[in-house]
Structure 1
């Protein structure tokens, strides 16, 4: 069987709430979900999720190839764009193709991808993460209560602008998850909005408030090796980062400098990327944790990683037109038996119900504020 072509489409995910982080919030709660479908001469089709705007430039590396060679074709795609580099939207295209190749590989074996990748268990431990920065306190509590009803014992909140608000919400979510565990895991994600000194001061304040933080996520810029290492040395909690790094070579400086304690990967960067980063972390006795994305496609690879400590689960519903064979239950993801990623795309429904370009609205979390990382004190609430 050979890869012969592709189709590209975009559906929408209606989260039913504002979603975002310290960098911005999508008030409509509607975000775009790009879908890549790889075609073959055997009739099977592979599904890849994530932005892939550079697909036309990358596709030549896999055209006419056997999809069962997915890891080798990943290297072939990187070689194909060697001169111009593979970061940004180019890596998104590499990743979407890679995900679709693995989907095809498992479908050719007539088994779910988690089985093809060697996992012994279909269950993937997770943590709740509601992209909650734009919610008021009542909506915040209601959202995490819904996660708690699904058995979650760990939660991550979005913060970084107002440390008092962050502390209040960490205590609030501790109480909610405390219904399921006497010691729930708590994580704070500030999405690169602090500088090193600010991070150290704020983490000391969190510790002084009696909060046992499991990890601080992206406290400073993703490439700030010295800053991340300094935060890790100063804080009791772990430092987690890596979701925005594209390619194993971008992790090497952080790993060599002991600047990361929980190695994260972006779920939109593909199966082969996750596997290689997970192995690099495993060699150093570090845990790996993939961040969330619509449909949780990397959960299949996470199920087979020996050092995986938990996958981010961001919502309890699926994007429009996607039927996904998995269940959110028991504090994680229960993967199904449908071959491949278990994703069925209803293209006719997507064409009919397409809800618009919600993600790329001005001020969304894709846009970094001008003052991010420059504040020395939290914004807090204005005194009137």
Structure 2
């Protein structure tokens, strides 16, 4: 079997409501979802969700190769980008191609990826994550009641701008999950998306911990700040979670080596091989791993095969337009199917028809850091920065 070509698509995730975090808000809830399809001479195609940046350069490292040599080809893509570096969106393209290769390998073996990777249990524990910073109280409660209806008993809210507001919103979500769980105490997490300084983080979380027993605080300071994460970890009771924006094993290593992270995260867009390597590094330090993403389907399969998976993020309960996943959510877990490969199928007609919904790549949202992040003197409303909010 040989790799013969690729094609790229872009569909849309339609949340049907505002989504956002401390950095910005997408008022109409429409988010671009780039897709890579890798073709072979035997008619098997693999699908990966992730960017297309520099894909021509990266595909040159794969063309004519046997797609089943996945980890060797992953390292080959890294070598082909080592001069300019593989961070950022380029790492996402490597991850998308890597995931597509794993999809092909499992399809060729006639097995779901989770079984090919050595998983025993198709159930992957999940927590609710509504990207909810812009929701009203009633909308927040309604969203988490929907998650609770699928058996989820842990939730992560977006915050970091106003401690009183976050305290109130955490209480609302806690009450929803407690009621659904028959009085059992739920897991509560707060994700602030790198919006604090070290001192802000300790003061803010310590104030919340007067009321709540937080499971973790996520990305409390800048992603690369090893000493900052360690300082936060020393100053609060909650675990420190980070890693979703670290693009490469070498970026995780200093955080783990310094004891600066308690829950090691990796994003669905960075690929299966990256996750497996990060999981092994974390396991060597007795740390758990937790996949992140809107549709981290590749990492869900991989999570079944590692000994230190803790829980995976569940965002929108609906897949992107034109995407069908062989999985469902029940009793607080993703349940993976028996279809070969990732179990991810594309309706390219529906994807093409959704083109008019695609936001422009330059549109604002959560990916633009506000000018005052990390240096606010008072509480801020979500989406107040002029360059971080978009309504189309």
Say whether the fold is shared (TM-score over 0.5): yes
Q: Equivalents in 2 of 1:57, 1:285: separation in Å?
A: 37
Deviation of 1:352 after TM superposition, in Å, equals 2.0
Q: What residue is the counterpart of 1:156 in the other structure? A: 156
Residues 268, 296 of structure 2: 8 Å contact kept: no
The aligned residue for residue 323 of structure 1 is 324
Partner of 2:351: 350
Which residue number in structure 1 is paired with residue 389 of structure 2? none
Matches within 5 A, 1:243-322: 243-294=244-295, 296-322=297-323
Report the equivalent of 2:133: 133
1:81-128 per-position Cα deviation (integer Å, ceiling 9, x unaligned): 111111112111111100000000000001111011110011000000
Compared CA separation, residues 283 and 295, structure 1 to 2 (3 A): closer
Greater shift, 136-145 or 371-380, is seen at 371-380
Distance 1:368 1:105 in 2: 38
Matches of 2:36 and 2:381, distance apart in 1: 43
1:380 CA drift (Å) = 6.7
Q: Which residue of 1 aligns with 2:201?
A: 199
1:52 deviates by 2.1
CA–CA distance in 1 between the matches of 2:134 and 2:356? Answer: 21
Structure 1 counterpart of 2:390: none
Counterparts in 2 of 1:360 and 1:164: CA distance versus 1, 3 Å: farther
Q: Distance in 2 between matches of 1:138 and 1:118?
A: 43
Alpha-carbon distance between aligned partners in 1 of 2:88 and 2:221, rounded to the nearest angstrom: 20
Structure 1 segment 181-200 matched on structure 2, within 5 A: 182-200=184-202
Task: Output the CA distance in 2 between the equivalents of 1:93 and 1:362.
Answer: 21
Residue 370 of structure 1 aligns to a residue whose secondary structure is coil
Q: How far did residue 182 of structure 1 move?
A: 1.0
Structure 1: how far apart are the matches of 2:294 and 2:380?
A: 30
Asked if 1:12 is matched to 2:12, the reply is yes
Per-residue deviation, 1:205: 0.5
The Cα shift of 1:175 comes to: 0.8
The within-5 A match list for 1:216-231 is 216-231=217-232
Are the aligned partners of 1:198 and 1:377 in contact in 2 as well (CA < 8 Å)?
no
Structure 1 residue 294: deviation in Å?
A: 2.7
Structure 1 residues 368 and 193: alpha-carbon distance in aligned structure 2, compared to 1, 3 A threshold = same
Given the alignment of the two structures, is residue 232 of structure 1 paired with residue 228 of structure 2, yes or no?
no
1:107 corresponding residue in structure 2: 107
Equivalence for 1:63: 63
Residue 363 to residue 350, structure 1, CA distance change in 2 (3 Å): closer
- 1:35 matched to which residue of 2? 35
Superposed displacement of residue 378, structure 1: 2.8
How far apart, CA to CA, are the structure 1 residues paired with 2:204 and 2:360? Answer: 30
Q: Structure 1: how far apart are the matches of 2:76 and 2:132? A: 39
State the 1:33 CA deviation.
0.7
Q: What is the alpha-carbon distance in structure 1 between the residues aligned to residue 125 and residue 21 of structure 2? A: 24
Find the counterpart in structure 2 of residue 335 from structure 1.
336
Question: What is the number of equivalent residue pairs in this alignment?
Answer: 381
Contact kept? 1:26, 1:359, Cα under 8 Å: no
1:337 counterpart SS class: coil
Q: Is residue 174–residue 186 contact of structure 2 (8 Å, CA) maintained in 1?
A: yes
| Cα separation, 1, equivalents of 2:67 and 2:381 | 53
Aligned to 1:165: 165
Equivalent-residue separation in structure 2 for 1:289 and 1:104 (angstroms): 25
**What 5-or-longer segments of structure 1 have no aligned partner?**
none
Q: Which residue of 2 aligns with 1:98?
A: 98
Whole-Å Cα distance in 2 between the matches of residues 3 and 55 of structure 1?
Answer: 14
d(CA) in 2 for partners of 1:134, 1:182: 28
TM normalised by structure 1 equals: 0.97
Q: How far is 1:376 from its partner?
A: 4.1
State how far apart, in whole Å, the 2-side matches of 1:214 and 1:278 are.
20
Measure the CA separation in 2 of the matches of 1:189 and 1:295. 18
Contact between 1:153 and 1:185, CA under 8 Å: does it hold in 2? Answer: yes
